[in-house]
Amino acid sequence: MHVTWRVRAASGTFSLQALHPRLAGREAIDDHAALTAHLAARRFPAPRLVPAPDGAPSLPWDGAVWRCSTWIEGRAGARLAPPDEARRAARLLGEFHRATAEFARPFRGGLRLHDPAAHAAGLRDALRRAAGDPARICWHAAVAGSSERVLAALERLALPAGLPERVIHGDPKFSNFVFDEDGRAVGLVDLDGCTRASVLYDLGDAIRSWADAGVQAGPARVREEVIAALVEGWRSAGLGLSAAEREALPRAGALVAWELAARFLRDVIEDAYFAWDPEGWPSRREQNLAHAAAAIDLADQLEAAIPRLRERLERTC
């Protein structure tokens, strides 16, 4: 979401970011500063905040709010996660959950990327407003049928109430893990989505993104061997799940995929959130329509795989 540069200086290599307006508020910045300090104290391999000259965690300048962090050397995770690297990255994700177990400070700002009920409510509200807006009624028609399917799925697959909450990363896509030349996971970046929620949202988001072979793979799109490897890797960090969490885990990937589809469909109507690639798409709305269709296709396949995943993950958990 941020505009990011890699900066090389005599004192080292750094990440310099002009923060997205939704993450440039004082509370979000303070959350990030407190969490990165906590991780640094526990020597967890995540970026370290570099204070501004006045000691503040950010610097307002030239119409933006800027943040500087240390750079973790290595390569980002590949588009298709190999099972061995998925296992190593998942162990690092588990170590992140362990390192943040004693982080007691409340999160006061930032984004809550995973909240299916809230995203469903946002989609319903966008549909309601678009139905009475002549400028957007055509986009309402474009997403109405898909929205009904998505909203039904979010209700059908909702996690049970009362699950334990932990600090979660919020966006553990494979490209947010840094690997060395030997394929070892040596860093975890992009901590702006951190909050407290069920750990199944992190595991579900990893399942959704790491196990996706792409729409060109057709019926074989879901790589179940990667899902098994990531759950094994996460547990190898010394973590466990409650009985209720183990029961819900096989549907977590499908739930997160349906949730992402809801976010894309909402942005078809509102045309305000996701970054637009003007070289690849004539408009953000058309880009979001295509991304929503891909998310729905993957969600369908992940949901169809739930019985197989349940049997496979019972042996892992």
Torsion sign over Cα 74, 75, 76, 81: negative
Residue 315 has pLDDT above 80, yes or no: no
Q: How many CB atoms lie within 10 A of CB 172?
A: 29
Q: What beta strand segments (E) does 109-236 contain?
A: 166-168, 177-179, 185-188, 195-197
Q: Which residues pair with 68 in a beta bridge?
A: 16, 50
Q: What are the percentages of helix, strand and coil residues in the chain, rounded to 5?
A: 50, 15, 35
Cα separation, 157 vs 143, in Å, equals: 21
Is the domain spanning 1-71 CATH 1.20.59.20? The answer is no
The pTM assigned to this predicted structure is: 0.93
For 164-205, the pLDDT digits (tens) are 999 999 999 999 999 999 999 999 999 999 999 999 999 999
Strand order in the sheet with 75-76: 75-76, 177-179, 185-188
For 47-93, the pLDDT digits (tens) are 999 999 999 999 999 999 999 999 999 999 988 888 999 999 999 99
Cα separation, 193 vs 109, in Å, equals: 10
Pick the CATH number of 75-317 from 3.30.420.10, 3.40.50.150, 3.90.1200.10, 3.40.1280.10: 3.90.1200.10
What tokens appear for 80 in the block? Answer: 């298709």
- CATH 3.30.200.20: which residues of the chain? 1-71
Residues in the chain: 317
